[in-house]
Amino acid sequence: MPKTSKALLQMPPSTVAALEKLGADLAVARLRRHESLKTWSQRLGVSVPTLMRLESGDPSVGVGILATALWLVGRDTELTQLAAPEHDKGALDQDVRQAIALGQQRARAAAEARLSRDKKRDSR
């Protein structure tokens, strides 16, 4: 029995489902092109069992193989956008939180400065 990496064991269910859908979609693309497992695997440079694993959504299939399969169906250009900073919701949310905190700090500082100015003026 092959050893499974900890990363694969901890994979979120939504990610597993996405890989399974991607694999099924690649299988449909192959079938719509009337390509056999053997022909498609040769074009990918992999064995038929590896292609079958890819099409079943096996997360241990190498990203290079997946990228080549996407190239075969004309979708490899999508790879450049998958982790693009402008689409990183977690980082964008963090930037917004930091901007809000900065705005609150500046508002407090401005209020404190006004109070200090008002106290100095009142004490004269």
Task: Spell out the residues 6+ positions from residue 70 whose beta carbon is closer than 8 angstroms to its own.
Answer: 26, 76, 78, 79
pLDDT for the residue numbered 3: 61
Q: How many CA atoms lie within 13 A of 61 on its CB side?
A: 24
One domain for residues 115 and 74: no
Residue 2: pLDDT band by 50, 70, 90 thresholds?
Answer: low
One domain for residues 70 and 93: no
Give the pLDDT confidence of 30-83 residue by residue, as tens digits. Answer: 999 999 999 999 999 999 999 999 999 999 999 999 999 999 999 999 999 888
One domain for residues 59 and 42: yes
pTM above threshold 0.85 = no
One domain for residues 75 and 23: yes
One domain for residues 47 and 99: no
Q: Which domain holds residue 67?
A: 6-82
Q: Is 1 inside a domain boundary?
A: no
Over residues 95-116, mean pLDDT: 90
